[in-house]
C-alpha cells in the first residue's frame, strides 16, 4: 500500500499537470505553448516554487520567528531588487498616478509582503513546512477561479479537473500525520459501541 503522504504528492502532481491546460483553448503552458518562449515563464514559476520550498524548510530548521522572516524578506528585497529595478529595468512609474502607486504599495508592500509571508511563516512554525506547503498548492486553483469570477476568463475542463484533484491532494496533505488512521480507529470504536 502506498503511504498517505506519497499518495498526496502523486495526486497533486496529477492535478498540477491537469491545471497546465493540456490543449484547452487559449492555453499557454509548457505542454501546449501558443507562443515562443512560454517555457521560460513555466521554468521561472518552478524556480520560484523551489525558492519558497527552500525558504520554508530553512525557516523551520533555523526556528526563525515569523516577524524576523518578514523583516528579512523586506530587507533582502530592498537591498537586492530595488537597485536592479531603479537602474536597469524599464519602468513607467514616472507616468503612474499617486493613486496607482499607493494601491501597489498597499498590495505589494502590506498584503503580499507582510500579511501573506507573515501568515505562511506563522503556519510553517505551527504546523510544519510539509503541511504549510500543501496549502500553497491551492494558489493556482484560487487564481483560476478568480480569473473566472473577476476577469471573465474561460475555465477549461482539464483546468477544472486539475483544481479538484489538487484541492483534494492539498486537503489530504494538510491533515496532521496519522489523522486518517485515527479517524478510522474512532469510527471502528463507534461502530463497535
The residue-averaged pLDDT of 41-53 equals 82
CA distance 139 to 141: 5
CA distance 106 to 19: 30
Question: Of 101, 104, 132, 130, whose CA–CA distance to 118 is shortest?
Answer: 132
Per residue in 93-103, pLDDT tens?
Answer: 888 899 999 99
Per residue in 101-124, pLDDT tens?
Answer: 999 889 888 888 788 888 888 888
CA distance 140 to 41: 14
CA distance 7 to 162: 16
Q: Supply the pLDDT for residue 23.
A: 44
* Predicted structure pTM score: 0.61
Q: Supply the pLDDT for residue 137.
A: 78
**Rounded to 5, what percent of the chain is helix, strand, coil?**
75, 0, 25
Q: How many residues does the chain have?
A: 193
How sure is the predictor about 60, in pLDDT bands with cuts at 50, 70 and 90?
confident
Amino acid at each position: 500500500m502506498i503511504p498517505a503522504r506519497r499518495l498526496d504528492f502523486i495526486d497533486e502532481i496529477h492535478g498540477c499537470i491537469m491545471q497546465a491546460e493540456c490543449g484547452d483553448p487559449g492555453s499557454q503552458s509548457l505542454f501546449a505553448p501558443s507562443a515562443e518562449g512560454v517555457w521560460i515563464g513555466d521554468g521561472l514559476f518552478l524556480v520560484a516554487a523551489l525558492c519558497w520550498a527552500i525558504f520554508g524548510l530553512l525557516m523551520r530548521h533555523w526556528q526563525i520567528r515569523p516577524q524576523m522572516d518578514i523583516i528579512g524578506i523586506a530587507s533582502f528585497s530592498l537591498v537586492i531588487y530595488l537597485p536592479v529595478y531603479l537602474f536597469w529595468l524599464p519602468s513607467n512609474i514616472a507616468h503612474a498616478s499617486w493613486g496607482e502607486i499607493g494601491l501597489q504599495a498597499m498590495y505589494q508592500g502590506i498584503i503580499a509582503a507582510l500579511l501573506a509571508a507573515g501568515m505562511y511563516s506563522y503556519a510553517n512554525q505551527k504546523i510544519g513546512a510539509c503541511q504549510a506547503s500543501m496549502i500553497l498548492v491551492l494558489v493556482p486553483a484560487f487564481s483560476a477561479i478568480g480569473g473566472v469570477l473577476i476577469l471573465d476568463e474561460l475555465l477549461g475542463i482539464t483546468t477544472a479537473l486539475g483544481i479538484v484533484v489538487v484541492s483534494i491532494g492539498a486537503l489530504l496533505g494538510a491533515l496532521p500525520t496519522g489523522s486518517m488512521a485515527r479517524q478510522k480507529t474512532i469510527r471502528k470504536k463507534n461502530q463497535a459501541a
